[in-house]
Structure 1
Amino acid sequence: MSMGRRRKTHRHLPQRVYIHHGSYRYQPKYGSKVTLARVGDYGGMLRALAALLSDRPPLTSMAKVFDRYELEVLPKKAESTQKDHARMLNNLRRSFGAMDPRHLRQPHAAQYRDKRGQKAPTAANRELEILSHVCTMAVEWGAMDLHPLQGLRRIERPPRTRYVTDHEYLFVHGLASPMVRCVLDLALLTGLRRGDIFRLERRNQSDAGIEIRTSKTGAALLFEWTPALRNVVKNALRLPPQVRAFIVCNRKGQPFTKNGFDSVWARLMQKATDPKREKQIERFQFRDLRRKSASDEVDEIVAQQRLGHASVAITNRVYRVKPKKVRPLR
């Protein structure tokens, strides 16, 4: 696919794919437009595009490697992850797209890391992770002889330590809409990531509790019923619209989208930090509630299991941030 000029909108879409009257459409360099899928079915769009382009060209440039990765690897990931990774691939395309895959060397990636990391160190690390996986696939596809990024140093970033106090939580809770309050409560009680909360459906419930397989790690979790959890789910399901599949949802009964909830959260934080208010709090991120859920738990093993971690070490190092109580000598 041609590199083309940079998009002004919908930058997460593959090259030559556009939105037209509620559908994803592919515009080949020569020939007629092809409708791929309805807007919202991002994975279906990628699969249809992969089938359309099944006669793969030789991988003579990194741009073509990125294209194949986007068509064959991204559809296997969660939809929110697909869009995030598609945006990162577009950033990588601009720097590496014209390069022959066999000419990519570690100093090229290190130079990208240092330049990108000056303003966005976290994004630089994430994009290098994607580039590394692209190279892994390129070796499998025969586009590279050896993986050029093995051993490449990442930018060291200390773990985030923001702890949301009970006062801050209750303050924001009081400003939120009834449905968003339920989202907050589910985040605190379960420690689930935002996307997994949005995927919870009525059918996930049983007499034993709420069962879900997390999207990031695939961990199967069963949250046993407690009075607090039952109450939150009942409160959510009482809210309109009554006929819906999802436990928490937007006004149309559909799961919150990433962009939609980002807007809701931004407005909520703006209210909570408004200097015109008599009382304000320090801004925090929704994902900080996962850290609060782990930190407020007395038993570290329970915290580990709730967050679906393979070991308690990562739970303690990244998510349990309250100071440890120690006894003085006298």
Structure 2
Amino acid sequence: MPRTRKNKEDNWMPPRVYRGRSAFEWHPANGGSIRLCSLDAKQSEVWQQYEQAVAEYEKQETTNGLIQRFFGSADFRELSRTTQSDYRKYANKIIPVFGKMLPSTIQPVHIRKYMDIRGEKSKVQANREKAFFSRVFRWAFERGLVEKNPCQGVRQFKEKQRDVYISDDEYEAVYEHACPVIRAAMEISYRCAARQGDVLALTKSELREEGIYIQQGKTGVKQIKEWSAELHKAVKECDEAFGNNSIFVIHQKSGSRFTRDGFNTRWRKARALAREATGLALNFTFHDLKAKGISDYEGSSKEKQAFSGHKTERQVATYDRRIKVVKTISKANASEKND
């Protein structure tokens, strides 16, 4: 039964239709507003425009439908497995808020409000989810499915650059309490400055005579990391524990590849055991192992760049986190200068 309006003279109006500044407006339950006709229109005209608007609205695709279309697109299929997984997680946050709305009704102010509320819990995740949503709208805009990208012009939160450096003691603490899977992955990531996704995707066909062939999933850079005794040991870890029954270097007992979530469960367990045994905080991520590798690599910034596979020295600088030891001024230095 329709709710009685405050102004009894408006009881004739269709559900969720209100007087705007210059026109009658219908406000769908899923958000937004649709102009019907001017305020001087007859009641019959308002009802006619309302019924037409409802019919057109029900034909349109919701934001959830748009996101699902993106997930079925060639653009999405060409993304790395890790990025696909991330996007689906971001969608699980976006859809409950925007899923039932029409894409055309979403405005920058709605994105800003979402960011502010989500940012109270995690500014980083708010940024990632907004970037994903913008990617969907950009894809849709290029195909004529939407007329604008409401995420454009909405500022992201400023993120503090990570500066965590894993000490040798911290590394050894986790390594000693880890299962063979984690130990092997840690060594490959650290000694090759490789991302987690690239380590988990590594197949035995990429173990060359000269070293380990790695094509970075993020940058596409191709390298062969020369063998060392530690790397030879690392690539045998899983096979020695689970059997030589997989095409992957890092694999489960069944021989199948680890998902990121499954791997991270083991990583968190190893870190928790090490934390309990040593009392160390161990507040670092698996991705910080790549930074430790670059930081510990002996050489100039150019040489570190060649080792890491980054395109610029500036990118390398964000991973080079070891605190430098510099000389200080001594009395002897000062007296020599005065002489």
Q: Could you say whether these structures have the same fold, taking a TM-score greater than 0.5 normalized by the shorter chain as the test? A: yes
Structure 2 match to 1:294? 294
Q: Secondary structure at the match of 1:242?
A: coil
CA contact (8 A) 2:190 2:289 kept: yes
Task: Kindly state the Cα deviation for residue 168 of structure 1 after the two structures are TM-superposed.
Answer: 0.9
Distance 2:240 2:96 in 1: 49
Secondary structure of 1:212 counterpart = strand
Determine helix, strand or coil for the equivalent of 2:242.
Answer: coil
User: Aligned pair count?
Assistant: 270
Conserved 8 A contact 2:177-2:271: no
Q: Whole-Å Cα distance in 2 between the matches of residues 239 and 158 of structure 1?
A: 40
Q: Which sections of structure 1, spanning at least 5 residues, go unmatched?
A: 1-56
3-state SS of 1:250 partner: coil
CA drift at 1:146:
3.2
CA distance in 1, matches of 2:146, 2:302: 43
Match of 1:214 in 2: 216
Amino acid at match of 1:288: D
Deviation (angstroms), 1:254: 2.1
1:237–1:63 distance in 2 versus 1, CA, 3 Å:
closer
Change (3 A) 1:153 1:244: same
Superposition pairs of residues 188-227 of structure 1, within 5 angstroms: 188-227=190-229
Q: Distance in 2 between matches of 1:165 and 1:246?
A: 29
Q: Which whole-Å deviations, capped at 9, do the CAs of 1:109-150 have from their partners, x for residues lacking one?
A: 111111110111111000011011111112112122233333
Task: Determine the structure 2 residue equivalent to 1:285.
Answer: 285
Distance 1:89 1:305 in 2: 36
Secondary structure of 2:213 counterpart:
strand
Q: Please say if residues 239 and 245 of structure 2, whose CA atoms lie closer than 8 Å, have aligned partners that are also in contact.
A: no
Q: Secondary structure at the match of 1:273?
A: helix
Distance 2:243 2:199 in 1: 18
Q: How does 1:1-330 map to 2 (within 5 A)?
A: 60-72=61-73, 73-274=75-276, 277=277, 279-283=278-282, 284-299=284-299, 300-316=301-317, 318-330=318-330
Q: Is the 8 A contact 2:178 2:267 kept in 1?
A: no
Instruction: Tell me the percent identity.
Output: 27
Q: Is residue 64–residue 95 contact of structure 2 (8 Å, CA) maintained in 1?
A: yes
- Write the distance in 1 (CA, Å) between the matches of 2:303 and 2:142: 40
Given that 1:60 and 1:143 are in contact with CA atoms closer than 8 Å, whether structure 2 keeps it comes out as: no
SS of aligned partner of 2:219 = coil
Following superposition, the deviation at residue 236 of structure 1 comes to 4.8
Q: Cα gap change, 1:106/1:271 in structure 2, threshold over 3 Å: closer, same or farther?
A: same
Q: Is contact 1:85–1:130 with CA below 8 Å preserved after alignment?
A: yes
Where 2:70 maps in the other structure, the secondary structure is helix
For 1:140 and 1:262, how far apart are their aligned partners in 2?
Answer: 36
Residue 165 of structure 1 deviates from its aligned partner by: 0.4
1:238 CA displacement: 4.0
Deviations along 1:203-233, whole A, 9 cap, x unmatched?
1022222112222222222212234323433
Deviations 1:229-264 (A, max 9, x none): 234334554443123212222222222222221221
- C-alpha distance in structure 1 between counterparts of 2:304 and 2:239, whole Å: 27
SS of residue matched to 2:72: helix
The one-letter amino acid paired with 2:171 is Y
Task: Look up the equivalent residue of 2:324 and give its one-letter code.
Answer: K
Structure 2 CA distance for aligned equivalents of residues 105 and 307 of structure 1: 41
Aligned-residue offset at 1:270: 1.6
CA distance in 2, matches of 1:214, 1:119: 31
| CA offsets 1:268-288 (integer angstroms, 9 cap, x no match) | 1221111xx4x3221222111
The answer on whether the counterparts of 1:202 and 1:245 sit within 8 Å (CA) in structure 2 is yes
Q: Distance in 1 between matches of 2:68 and 2:250?
A: 35
C-alpha distance in 1, partners of 2:236/2:103?
Answer: 54
Cα distance between partner residues in 1 of 2:247 and 2:68: 35
Alpha carbon RMSD of aligned pairs, Å? 2.1
Q: Retained in 2: the 8 A contact 1:59–1:143?
A: no
When normalised by structure 2's length, the TM-score is 0.73
